Homo-oligomer: A and B are copies of this chain.
Amino acid sequence: MIHTKRTIVLGLQPTVYGTPEKGWPVTAPNADEVNRIFRSAPFIVDLGLQLDSLEPGACTSVLLLEPRHLQQDGFVHAGVQATVADHTAGAAAATLVSPAQIVLTAEFKINFLRAAKGERLICRSKVLKPGTQLSVVESEVFCIASGTEHLVSKATATVAIVTPRGG
Measured CB to CB, the residues of A under 8 A from B are 1, 3, 5-10, 36-37, 39-47, 67-73, 77-80, 82-84, 86-87, 102, 104-115, 128-129, 133-134, 136, 151, 154, 156, 158, 160
Min Cβ gap A97→B in Å is 14
Most chain B beta-carbon neighbours within 10 Å: one of A6, A69, A156: A156
B43 & A79 in contact (Cβ 8 Å cutoff): yes
Min Cβ gap A109→B in Å is 4
Contact of A83 among B9, B79, B102, B114 (CB under 8 A): B79
Are A111 and B82 CB-contacts (below 8 A) given A40-B72, A69-B42?
A: no
Task: Compute how far the CA of A65 lies from the CA of B151 in the bound complex, rounded to whole angstroms.
Answer: 32
Task: Compute how far the CA of A115 lies from the CA of B77 in the bound complex, rounded to whole angstroms.
Answer: 24
B107 & A109 in contact (Cβ 8 Å cutoff): yes
Residues of B contacting A113 in the complex (Cβ-Cβ under 8 angstroms): 128-129, 136
Contact of A43 among B40, B45, B71, B102 (CB under 8 A): B71
B156 & A156 in contact (Cβ 8 Å cutoff): yes
Q: Which residue on B lies nearest to A164, using beta carbons?
A: B73
Are A108 and B105 CB-contacts (below 8 A) given A71-B44, A77-B41, A82-B79?
A: no
Task: Compute how far the CA of A83 lies from the CA of B87 in the bound complex, rounded to whole angstroms.
Answer: 13
Task: Compute how far the CA of A46 lies from the CA of B8 in the bound complex, rounded to whole angstroms.
Answer: 14
Contact of A3 among B9, B156, B160 (CB under 8 A): B9
Contact of A112 among B6, B10, B102, B105 (CB under 8 A): B105
Residues of B contacting A151 in the complex (Cβ-Cβ under 8 angstroms): 128-129
